[in-house]
Amino acid sequence: MGARDGGRLRWRSQNSHGMIRIENLKKNYRTIEALKGVNLQVGEGEIFAYLGPNGSGKTTTIKILTGLASPSSGDAYLSGYHILRQTLDAKRQCGLVPQTINLDHELTVYENLNIHGKLFHMRRRERLSRIDELLEYVDIKERRDSPVKQLSGGMKRRVMVARALMHAPRILFLDEPTVGLDPTIRRKIWSLVKKIQQSGSTIFLTTHYIEEAEFLADRVAFLEAGRIVALDAPQAMMGRLGAWAMDEIVNGEMETTYFKGREEANRHVALQKGSFALRRVNLEDVFLSVTGKKVQP
């Protein structure tokens, strides 16, 4: 369970080999190879972004790690517990915030969290204390007794995060946590995710908002057709590509040229006569350079 450190919630692991460890993970759906030997390790307290287009294997990976699907072969561990040989212990290590809002809309915020606590066999006193603590933590305590159907989309997302944290998991899986939210609410969720990381949790994030991963993640993996094709810190990935990018239309197609520094970019821009845009390199540039595809919902 959670421990306190200076009034903050903290979750500590006894595992020194990474909170999430995946070894040659494969998954086949009849003739489709959804995962083709994925290997990665996510450290304690890390925000790890797992990016790729639809069909790349992101959702399959999360389903396997959270016990919703079984791998065809390979191994995976959550806080040192094998997902198949120690299934219940592994499941206790993680909380999941799915893309779809799956709260009971007829029940109140409190009732939704209370039911989740009961499912994890939390005692009544522990549940009540934890609910109050988490509602304050996600800044929605004043809506404790409101039916979920009366909440805004952003509030519902925060309730889902609180629910996932009820049993004090060491690992939080966030599957498209800000999909459909406006930019202002999206950034409030970003602040909450950083707050959760500061409490000691490990966060495994999937998103189609490339700037979200660029801002939040300590490391990023790009997945394509069931394989990891790039893995590193966002700044390191972008730095290898360049610092500045110039987009221009050539023969009806968008072309992008990368530059290591602003002076080099300015010299190139001075020679241009057509329409162009000069900007900073971002993570989507990295993904396009690796796969030739955009990260799209």
The CATH number of 3-235 is: 3.40.50.300
Q: Which of 98, 100, 129 is nearest to 113 (CA)?
A: 129
Whether 36 contacts 225, CB under 8 Å = yes
Q: Is 284 exposed, middle or buried (0-12, 13-18, 19+ CB in 10 A)?
A: middle
Q: What kind and span of H or E run contains 216? A: helix 210-216
Amino acid at 94: C
> Rounded CA gap, 136 and 173, in Å?
21
Domain edges within the chain? 3-235, 241-291
* Average pLDDT per block of 10 residues along the chain, 297 residues long: 39 58 95 95 96 89 94 96 95 93 96 96 95 93 96 94 94 92 89 92 93 95 94 95 89 86 86 82 90 60
Which is nearest to 229 in space by CA: 242, 240, 239, 220? 220
Q: What is the secondary structure of 223-250 as a DSSP string?
A: EETTEEEEEE-HHHHHHHH-SEEEEEEE
CA distance 159 to 134: 9
Which pLDDT score is estimated for 17?
A: 58
Question: What is the DSSP pairing of strand 3-5 with strand 8-10?
Answer: antiparallel
